[in-house]
Amino acid sequence: MRISPRIDRIQAPPITEVKSWIAGRSFPADKPLIDLCQAVPSYPPPEELAAYLKTTLDDPLTYKYSPDEGIPEVRNEVCALYGRHYGGICEPAQLCLTIGASQAFWLAMACLCEPGDEVIVQLPAYFDHPMGLAALGVRPVFAPFSAADRGLPDLDTLEALITPKTKALLLVTPSNPTGAVIPPQQAEALFDLAQRHGIALVLDETYNTFIGARPHRLFERDNWADHFVHIASFGKTFALTGLRCGALMADRRLIEQALKIQDSMVVCQPRVTQLALAYGCRHLDDWVAANARMMNTRHAAFKEQFNAAGLDFELTASGSFFAWVKHPWPDMTGRQAAKRLADDANLICLPGETFGPGLDGYLRLALGNIVMEEIPEAVTRFRDL
């Protein structure tokens, strides 16, 4: 059977690859596996959310389709949440509930781009984004990574990359993989840049609730939907990663077009996921804020201990969920360095090159997986290599 060469050239899913290195291995009690590979919260959803979902399981409606864009009451709750978290206005007609942030990204790119178009992607890039663009036949144009700037974008560099084929600027804030947060004033400048060139500013803000402050004020602009596309994930916010809980927010015309793809792809977000989302929006503001504080405390502890340990590894950038580390082996790729950590330290993380070209010297550590008590042991394993 012939496979499309375009698809064949896309890299394999990095997390699946790394976890295959340890498949079937047993780990001694005195040196168990430390998983810094996949970014999931180390804690479950609150008991009251789980208890609420149990009450919905006897309702036949739970197992039915919903409207493609989502249950109206749930979309209202999401808009209310955004009003509290961001200020400004997002109307339900500007919102489509999706199967995680990844599907929201696909909907956005499929609506904005034709095969052969270009999207400017800031390095290091969340690996699913170049993979998805390549599958759609869209060319990612990479803005280079600057260690001195912690991977944050440079507006002059971005503007110099814009061509008549450019349809969007694509950035992730807080960054996956560096954890760095685009400052609100820079988000405003990025919007202005997109507006000047008649293109879209697409921000994947999967980890927005872990910043501890309002991420930006773009939703307060009367014309935000003219050039801003927001990709959301509530899986991290409410610890619902397995329920695949995301959203796309954009101009209502783009949402109308996205629903054509939604209907042919998944029809709708599962109703049980929507019920969990609505419950979280109504009841869990304080729980979410407490977890954000906990994650920022965990990050501060990791950063302090990592930097104080005299390691050969360099902490280049970090945030509440991620650390971007330069490894000390110039003759090794990131994949080889990550494999050495898996084999010799019983610690898994992701190679830098999976986040874009020229990043072989780096590793991504996912801090969401570990608890405070595991940090000293993780740092010790880096020191002992």
363-375 pLDDT tens trace: 999 998 899 999 9
Strands 228-233 and 200-204, sheet pairing: parallel
Whole-angstrom distance between the N-terminal and C-terminal Cα of the chain? 45
pLDDT tens, position by position, 200-252: 999 999 999 999 889 999 999 999 999 999 999 999 999 999 999 999 999 99
pTM of the model: 0.95
Q: Which residues contact 339 (CB under 8 A, 6 or more apart)?
A: 21
**3-state class of 27 per DSSP?**
coil
CA distances from residue 162 to 108, 127, 255, 345, 357 in whole angstroms, order as listed? 19, 22, 25, 44, 19
5-44+287-384 shares its CATH topology with 47-284 = no
Query: What pLDDT does 154 receive?
Result: 96
State the pLDDT at residue 89. 84
Summarize pLDDT for 55-67 with one digit per residue, the tens.
999 999 999 999 9
Report, in angstroms and rounded to the nearest whole number, the Rg of the chain calculated over CA atoms.
21
Residues β-bridged to residue 140? 119
Q: Which residues pair with 134 in a beta bridge?
A: none
What lies within 8 Å, CB to CB, of 295 at 6+ separation is 210, 320, 321, 367, 368
- Confidence at residue 7, expressed as pLDDT on a 0 to 100 scale: 87
Provide the residue ranges of all domains of the chain, joining segments of one domain with +. 5-44+287-384, 47-284
CA 171, 177, 178, 179 torsion-angle sign: positive
Q: What is the mean pLDDT of the chain?
A: 96
How big is the CA angle at 214 (ends 212 and 215), to the nearest 5 degrees? 95
Token pair listed for 259: 């629903």
Given a contact cutoff of 8 angstroms between Cβ atoms, the answer to whether 227 and 200 are in contact is yes
Separation CA 60–CA 272 (nearest Å): 11
> Shortest CA distance to 249 belongs to which of 220, 219, 278, 274?
219
pLDDT in tens, 150-174: 999 999 999 999 999 999 999 999 9
Are 198 and 75 spatial neighbours (Cβ–Cβ below 8 Å)?
no
**Residue pair 241/235 in contact by the 8 Å Cβ criterion:** yes
- Residue 220's pLDDT is 95
Confirm if 262 and 96 have CB atoms less than 8 A apart. Answer: yes
pLDDT on residue 88: 84
Residues of the chain with pLDDT under 50: none
Q: What is the pLDDT of residue 8?
A: 85
Q: What are phi and psi of 172, to 5 degrees?
A: -120, 125
Q: Is there a contact between 203 and 169 (Cβ–Cβ < 8 Å)?
A: no
Which residue, 44, 93, 47, is CA-closest to 67?
Answer: 93
What pLDDT does residue 385 have?
87
Question: For position 5, what pLDDT does the model report?
Answer: 87
Tokens of 362: 């780096």
Interatomic CA distance for residues 28 and 1, integer angstroms: 44
Considering the segment(s) 5-44+287-384 as one domain, its CATH architecture is Alpha-Beta Complex (3.90)
Instruction: Determine the pLDDT at residue 79.
Output: 97
Q: At the top level of CATH, which class does the domain 47-284 belong to?
A: alpha beta
Torsional sign, CA 339, 39, 227, 258: positive
| Backbone dihedral region for residue 362 (phi beyond 0: left; psi -120 to 50: alpha; all else: beta) | beta
Distance CA 135, CA 28 (A): 41
- As a whole number of angstroms, the distance between CA 185 and CA 217 comes to 9
Token pair belonging to 336: 């080889």
